[in-house]
Structure 1
């Protein structure tokens, strides 16, 4: 598996996005807000961290790389750089569970951070990873930051669902669209991170998402993909739904399989929706609603430690409801 995005020195693909970021800096026209938008698992957070490191290190490289041994790289990887702040869902101190959303308190911390003088004389960088997870209060607080950004500060937002962001947030950011990775890049990344995997099958299933491909490469991933396709193809009888939910939720790797199941379910549902749109067929609005609902259901189950098996049954029942 690759390193965490904050500590990953490697990056492939997305040359246009790299060029746009580098050109904005070298031309002295660096916008105060950037939205890295694209499907899950394609490298949005990895690129955002890469750019933040490069900016704080006053980098000169064409590919936005800096040495792994450098201070900015090591401190950002460790979460200790005084001029870099990450906003994401956090562990709730009372429940010790991952929050289901980004809350206003975290944005308020980021706001206070951005208004400080840069500790090292350069920039203050805030990365909002998974910006679509902000609740309404957090989103409005972030909007105020975008409307009145402190000097020498920059906001980097990543989002797999930019349509869920406030239109005013999107309009105040420079949107950096990032597309699924081409097959050649996927093959190269799989050779690096999963050399023994069935690359052809993973590329077929992952649809340009190296994150999805690597999740699939772990034990049982391809089998989960088969269950997802079965569920999408036709309504699942109650007894079969029970068996499918058991196979995903009861094993030792249940947590991983649960997240993988929902990731694949949403990815495959989106692919079929796009195909239906091109063909002028299908209930597109229903599919879009399902995609959103399944994402919310997954976040709630993980954030509140709810019954994974029950959530799978709910999703299977909703799939073909008219």
Structure 2
């Protein structure tokens, strides 16, 4: 999949486009929009699409579109988690220093005489100071300025930020839309992606299905043995192997909890929910502190074992 800044192939979010288009046509365009939906569903792609609408950059080979794609358009500013150069991964939060350029950007006259657009991608990662800095901007927006916030966790945002934004809630893509966007991805991967192209690409990293098979065996109660340790070491070495294994284990535990609730077994449902929560804590700690992933995988397997 393309970077959202470069992706002109928006699919599956026609209703959100229609709502925004009607507001723009009416001349009563709200100054802040909260684009919410599951991870990987296309929230940032939609934000850049709407930004191009405002900036007259919808035609891919137009000068304005090329500037948006290159990140050099003077009237478009993107705020997101920065890369931690020491660890080679995204930082855990968006800081006040990351948000600070928005204030200066909003004060300047639009370089091309139109709208000024800010995209805050992953607004749930705003720390307290960054959120308060952004809130001040939302409370007193300059004319002809728009802020798009994307989030997979609207509840993690300050209520005062949510209340100042008009929501655009995105739905999962249909099977046909998923196949159009990802024509080369296996059917079993698309089925597990729940209408999210980004999740499908993440799952597709398990190219031979070995991690998914491993997780299935663990969820069925199989304990680690000598034959499985080679896979544990392999997964630990892969860039996204540990994250993928935790994701699949977490999904399996969530399904276990739903099944237990359906059968009226609330105690086991609560246990599965707690196991999933503990797994997420293990993942955050392992990735945040760069701990031994092979050891963490063994802990994850123990966490997911049947009671």
The two structures have a TM-score, normalised by structure 2, of 0.84
Q: Secondary structure at the match of 1:120?
A: coil
Q: Is the 8 A contact 2:35 2:170 kept in 1?
A: yes
Aligned match of 1:49? 48
State the 1:261 CA deviation: 2.9
Distance 1:285 1:35 in 2: 32
State the 1:55 CA deviation: 1.0
Alpha-carbon deviations, 1:269-290, whole Å to 9, x = none?
Answer: 5555566666665577776676
Aligned match of 1:256? 240
Residues 1:29 and 2:28 aligned together? yes
Residues 1:308 and 2:275 aligned together? no
Residues 1:222 and 2:223 aligned together? no
Q: Secondary structure at the match of 1:6?
A: coil
Q: Is the 8 A contact 2:41 2:198 kept in 1?
A: yes
State the 1:31 CA deviation: 1.2
State the 1:205 CA deviation: 1.4
Aligned length: 306
Distance 2:281 2:129 in 1: 17
Aligned match of 2:16? 17
Alignment equivalent of 2:120, drawn from 128, 149, 155: 128
The two structures have a TM-score, normalised by structure 1, of 0.81
Q: Secondary structure at the match of 2:34?
A: strand
Q: Is the 8 A contact 1:216 1:260 kept in 2?
A: yes
Q: Secondary structure at the match of 1:255?
A: coil
Alignment equivalent of 2:164, drawn from 147, 163, 172: 172
Distance 2:222 2:66 in 1: 50
Uncovered stretches (5+) of structure 1, i.e. residues with no partner:
60-65
State the 1:92 CA deviation: 3.7
Alpha-carbon deviations, 1:208-227, whole Å to 9, x = none?
Answer: 11112223334536322233
Q: Is the 8 A contact 1:97 1:305 kept in 2?
A: no
Task: Calculate the aligned-residue CA RMSD, in Å.
Answer: 3.1
Alpha-carbon deviations, 1:121-149, whole Å to 9, x = none?
Answer: 11111111111122222122222222222
Within-5 A mapping of 1:135-284:
135-191=127-183, 194=184, 197-199=185-187, 201-218=188-205, 220=207, 222-234=209-221, 236-237=223-224, 245-250=232-237, 254-270=238-254, 282=266
Q: Secondary structure at the match of 2:150?
A: strand
Q: Is the 8 A contact 1:216 1:222 kept in 2?
A: no
Alpha-carbon deviations, 1:54-85, whole Å to 9, x = none?
Answer: 1111x7xxxxxx11111222112111111111
Question: Closer, same or farther in 2 for the Cα pair 1:190/1:75, shift >3 Å?
Answer: same
Q: Is the 8 A contact 1:221 1:257 kept in 2?
A: no
Distance 1:150 1:305 in 2: 42
State the 1:115 CA deviation: 2.4
Alpha-carbon deviations, 1:190-247, whole Å to 9, x = none?
Answer: 22xx2xx432x12221111111222333453632223334444548558788555323
Question: Closer, same or farther in 2 for the Cα pair 1:95/1:227, shift >3 Å?
Answer: closer
Distance 1:160 1:270 in 2: 18
Distance 2:260 2:284 in 1: 27
Question: Closer, same or farther in 2 for the Cα pair 1:135/1:309, shift >3 Å?
Answer: farther
